[in-house]
Structure formats: C-alpha cells, structure tokens
Structure 1
Amino acid sequence: MEGFEIKITNSNKGKGLFATKKYDPGDIILEEDPIVSCQFAWNAAYRYLACDHCMRPLETPERNVRRLSCKSDIVLPHADCVEMNLDEATGCDDCEALYCSEFCKQQAYVTYHRSMCHDSLDALHPMTVVLEEWKQMHYPPETTNILLLIRILAYINQNSDPAAAAAKIKQFCHRTVNEDAELIHKLLGEQFAIQLNRLRELTAAVIDGDYIQDFLTPEGFCALMALVGTNGQGIGTSPLAMWVNAVSELTMSDDERKQINLYIDKLYQYVEEESGTFLNTEGSGLFELQSACNHSCSPNAESSFPYSNHRIQLKALKTIMPGDEICISYLDECMIQRSRHSRQKELAQNYLFKCWCERCTSQAADPDVTSDEDMSEDEPDDVD
C-alpha cells in the first residue's frame, strides 16, 4: 500500500489508518471498491433504479426528477451534460437483477449472485421471505442492511479460498458479545432477541456452507449483524445530483448562473414535497481499507463517491504528515457541529465508544448538556 498503512493504534481503538507520506489538502489518499455492496431493502422495494452490483443509477436525471416530483412535464436544461450510457444496461438471465454493464453482471455472478439468484415473484422463496421479514422489522431510514449481510456470506461461499475470505470478514468482528447485543438492541428495538433469532433462521434457509457456519450460530450472527451495523459504509447515488454537479461545472454568465441555481432550488422543493428526503438510491458497502479509518470530531480526511457508483474515494481535508493517523467523521455535517456532549451521545449509541479526539479532549470541561439544551438556555424567558 503506497502512502498509508494499517496498524494497531496506541489507544483502545484497535486498528487505524496511518500516513506514510505527506498529503496536502485535496490530495487523494486512496480509492477502493467494496468487498460487497447493495441497496437497502426498502430503497430497492420502491424501485430506485440502480445497478444491483455497483449502485450506478439506471435512469436519466430527467426521468429521476419527474418520478420523484410526480411532475411528468419537467424538462431539464443542459440535460446532455450527464453521460449515462444506459445502452449498456443488462439484466440477470434468471432473475430481475439489473446491471449497468456486462462487467458488473459478471462481477456480481462470480462474487456472490450465483448463491442468491432467485425468482423475486416467488413469495415463498427463502430470499423473498427474509427480505419481507426484514422490512417489517426495520422501517426507513435503514441503519443496517440484511441483504449486505447475506451477500457477505455468499462472498465467502463463492470465494476461491473460502477459509481466507471468512478470516477476512472475521477481522471486522472485534466487539464483545455484550457490546454486539447492545448494538443490535439499538438497531432492532426491544424485541431484538426474538427478531435476531428469526433473522438468523431465515438467513440459514437462504444460504449454507461449511465456511459460514460460525456466522450462523447465535453469537456469530449477532457479531455479523453488529459488523454490518458499524462497518457498513453508507452509499448514495443520484441522477439528479449528477446533473446538478455537471451543471455547476458549465461556463455561463452570472445571470444564467443565478437563474439555474433558482431552478435547481425549485426542483429540490418539488422533490421534497413529494418524496421527502428519500431522494437518493441508498445502500451500504463493506470496505476493507476505508473501514480502518477511525473517527475524529475534527477529521483530517473525508470519504466521497465521485464516480456515482460504489467506488469510494478518501481525500485529505488538512495537511497530513507521515506517521499521522488518517481520521474521518462518523457523524453527519449537522451532528459534527453540535456540542461535545451531543456528539459523544450519538457515538456511544451508534458506535459504542467514547471519543477522545483532540477536539473532544479540548472541550472536556464543557458542561454535559446537549446542543438543543444549549440553544434553549440562550433563548430569553417568556414574558407574561
């Protein structure tokens, strides 16, 4: 690996990603495809058209915004600034899985799809049953992905060296049984023990094999579910976002730029009124290198998906020197701006750790109140 290495940290964080050369702000640290990835179950159920392997959109920006806004008369200006290559789209010969290219179709088949291919119209097929059961347990927004878990097991089964593939996956499992159960409680709710066992039984009916038996025990399945919940990297692709980004790169006058920005704002308003925030093709993936990045509330790097598919890019936000740990934020843009107490609460609930990054350490003396409480304290008292 050129420019970085994975090694054990000097704290309780376990592994971390460390620079072996200098990176300036904007430099690309790494790019990688996931071991496996897939759409969320509800996202796929609502027919968000995307490649079943790489999640590349399979509809034009114009068709996308018409569907999301329920306005069939929308005509996007500069529609030709986005190249979709939808002519290369293809499908599985035996099921409804769609792919952006023959390459993705073949990659999916040799990696995991051979073990999972099924008739989606067969309501009694084990794959259909587990997906329907999952959707009843886990309504949007989904924070983990049962289909990703099954693809991980299929990846092990279909690997030319299944023992090595199983060992690679087990490297992600590092929590205690109690920590795993605590996280699954968070993901599934009060009935998590019953639901987890039901999901385990249904998953075992979908896929079986000598090298995945450890993952189908109660403890192993809990660990695998926790793995997907904490290491699954969210992936979002959107034809509309592709068009917006492409239009922003076009040369135009100040007046034209103002008009197009107003038009874009109006489009998003239409979409929000009809579809809410559920506007992207969303899913998750398991990345071998990127998953080694630990969290910081003052990150020196960030992850993005610049190719409108599941290929991730890690880019430096600050100057990173050889020996520095490369850290990203596990929190979204809104949460990262909140108080130390709010950030710590979110990280404890969703990732089961207490952050001791430089920013949190410097704010250790701050009062233990949430950002909402901070805001309410700043508001004047009501006057009768």
Structure 2
Amino acid sequence: WQLTALKEGDVLFEEKPLVSAQFSWNELYKYLACEFCLKSLESAEEMVRRLANNPGLSLPHPECCDVDPSTFAQCSQCQVLYCSPVCRDLAAEQYHQVLCKGSSKDDPEHPLNRLVNEWRAFHYPPETTSVMLIAKMIAMVKQAKDKDLIVSQFSTFVKNAASEQEHIAHKLLGEQFQVQREVLRSLVSDALFEESVQEWFTPEGFSLLFALVGTNGQGIENLQLNEAEKKELDELIEKIYNEIDEVSGEFLDCEGSGLYQLQSA
C-alpha cells in the first residue's frame, strides 16, 4: 500500500540487472558505453557531434552532463572501458576473467570475436538483444564460487522461456533460424563450455537460452541529450535532431539489454 502521496520526480522502483550487454551493432558503430553498467562514456556534446557529423556543434548547460573521463577505468589486459574502477572490479569479479580477450581483442579468429561477428551476420538492427548476454551468463557460472546460486538465479528465466523458444528464434534470426542457431551454439560451446551447466550447450538447452534473452531481456538505453529547461532548448534540440536524422537516422542511443530479477520475471 502507498502510505505517502507521490510527487513528480519520485523514484518508484530501481533495480540493477543480473547481467547486461551492449548491442553488438551498437558497439561496432562506436557508441561508447561502460562494459558493465552500459552508462554512456560520451558527453552529450561529443555524442551529438558524432551523430550529426558536425564537430562544430555546441550544447548549452554542459554542467548538466555528468560524464567524467577522469573516473574511467579499463581492463589492464584488453583495455575494455568502464565508467569507474567500481564497474571494472565488479566485471572482473563476476565474468570478465573468463571473457577477457587480452592482446587478442582485435583478432577476428578469437572465439568470442567469431561468435559476435556471426551474430551480427544473422541479427541486423534494429537490435533487441545480444548473444553476449548468453556469453556473460555462462562466464558468471564459470567464475562463481557458488555455481548453484548463480544457476538458480537464471533458472526461472529459462523455465519461462520454454514455450516461446521457436517463435523467438525465428524472430531474431529469420527463416534460416535453425541452421543459424546451431552455428551459434557450436561457437558458444567452443568458446565457453562449462560442465556444471552442460545442459545449456545441448540443442534444446541452447534453444531455451536463446528464448530467454529474447523474451526476458529488458532494454537499457542511455541517451545523453539533456532535456533540462526544455522550453528554452526546444528550438536548438529540434535543429540538432534534424542534423542527426540526416546522418544517423533513428540510430541515436547507447543501447543494450539485461536480465533483471524482478522486471524480467
């Protein structure tokens, strides 16, 4: 029951995802985001300049943008970026030790790069999920001290996805989804096989994982165009959006998806 009156601006609900991943095409097109929490690593001004291909664009009220490069951190092995040492350390603690590509981060033959490139070949924008959600789930199990606990957190999602598996695979991969799904399953198995969840690597189990990320993943969006003092800025914002539309269309945001214990249940 609500015991106090709500007012504009009140936060009703907050939840951090169990796991999240930036969309693959979004990352390829240089939308810089924290690898762990997906917070944008571009200032609002940097973003609109890139999206509009106009290095002369300036935004008012730069103090409203909280992106601070001085807080950024990176993995010492593969140089992937994080918004803070806290996110870097959480990623390393939860999954990044398994997924770190080290000096092979740009090698197209690295197993994880092969997986992502194959995913992009099957799944074009507009994106709704990422195969790296599955990779991170497996990596979390591989790194976990209490593997049963991590598996139990994901088990509800897997059960809920069972009835949707064929429909979702078809929606994500198109007419040849069965062949494409098998290619992805083979690549995931080669890169990340984990005996404690070996059922995830069977055709049926992988199909369930696929349905899971397609049905339960919640969109995560981080658009840095500030709407403060909107009336004053309407004319400028309209001009900026017109310039962006000419260059980037509607492909504007840092985007990814994640699994949430409550929202995705």
TM-score normalised per structure 2: 0.93
Report the counterpart of residue 227 of structure 2 in structure 1: 245
* Gaps in structure 1 of 5+ consecutive residues: 1-20, 249-256, 293-384
Report the counterpart of residue 238 of structure 2 in structure 1: 265
Report the counterpart of residue 209 of structure 1 in structure 2: 194
1:225 alignment partner, one of 210, 218, 233: 210
Report the counterpart of residue 96 of structure 1 in structure 2: 79
Describe the superposition over 1:220-277 as per-residue Cα deviations: whole angstroms up to 9, x where unpaired.
100011000000000010222xxx23344xxxxxxxx44x211111111111111011
How many corresponding residue pairs? 260
Describe the superposition over 1:15-68 as per-residue Cα deviations: whole angstroms up to 9, x where unpaired.
xxxxxx237656544311111111000011111011111111111111111000
Report the counterpart of residue 167 of structure 1 in structure 2: 152
Distance (Å, rounded) in 2 between the aligned partners of 1:195 and 1:143: 17
Report the counterpart of residue 199 of structure 1 in structure 2: 184
Task: Say if 1:78 and 1:247, in contact at 8 Å, map to a contact too.
Answer: no
Distance (Å, rounded) in 2 between the aligned partners of 1:264 and 1:178: 44
Report the counterpart of residue 58 of structure 1 in structure 2: 41
Letter in 2 for 1:116: L
Report the counterpart of residue 36 of structure 1 in structure 2: 19
Report the counterpart of residue 335 of structure 1 in structure 2: none
Matches within 5 A, 1:1-384: 21-22=1-2, 28-118=11-101, 119-175=104-160, 179-240=164-225, 244-248=226-230, 257-258=231-232, 260-292=233-265
Larger Rg: 1
* Gaps in structure 2 of 5+ consecutive residues: none
Task: Say if 1:69 and 1:270, in contact at 8 Å, map to a contact too.
Answer: yes
Distance (Å, rounded) in 2 between the aligned partners of 1:177 and 1:99: 34
Give the direction of change, closer, same or farther, for the CA distance of 1:74–1:285 in structure 2 (3 Å limit).
same
Moved more, 131-140 or 157-166: 157-166
Letter in 1 for 2:21: C
Distance (Å, rounded) in 2 between the aligned partners of 1:137 and 1:22: 46
Distance (Å, rounded) in 2 between the aligned partners of 1:176 and 1:261: 43
Task: Say if 2:19 and 2:258, in contact at 8 Å, map to a contact too.
Answer: yes
| SS in structure 1 of the partner of residue 158 of structure 2 | coil
Task: Say if 2:157 and 2:216, in contact at 8 Å, map to a contact too.
Answer: yes
Q: What is the aligned-residue identity percentage?
A: 40
Task: Say if 2:128 and 2:257, in contact at 8 Å, map to a contact too.
Answer: no
Give the direction of change, closer, same or farther, for the CA distance of 1:223–1:277 in structure 2 (3 Å limit).
same
CA RMSD of aligned residues (A): 1.7
Distance (Å, rounded) in 2 between the aligned partners of 1:143 and 1:82: 27
Distance (Å, rounded) in 2 between the aligned partners of 1:167 and 1:177: 16
| SS in structure 1 of the partner of residue 246 of structure 2 | helix
Distance (Å, rounded) in 1 between the aligned partners of 2:221 and 2:94: 22
Give the direction of change, closer, same or farther, for the CA distance of 1:276–1:126 in structure 2 (3 Å limit).
same
| Cα distance, 1:178 vs structure 2 | 6.0
More strand, by proportion: 1
| Cα distance, 1:99 vs structure 2 | 0.4
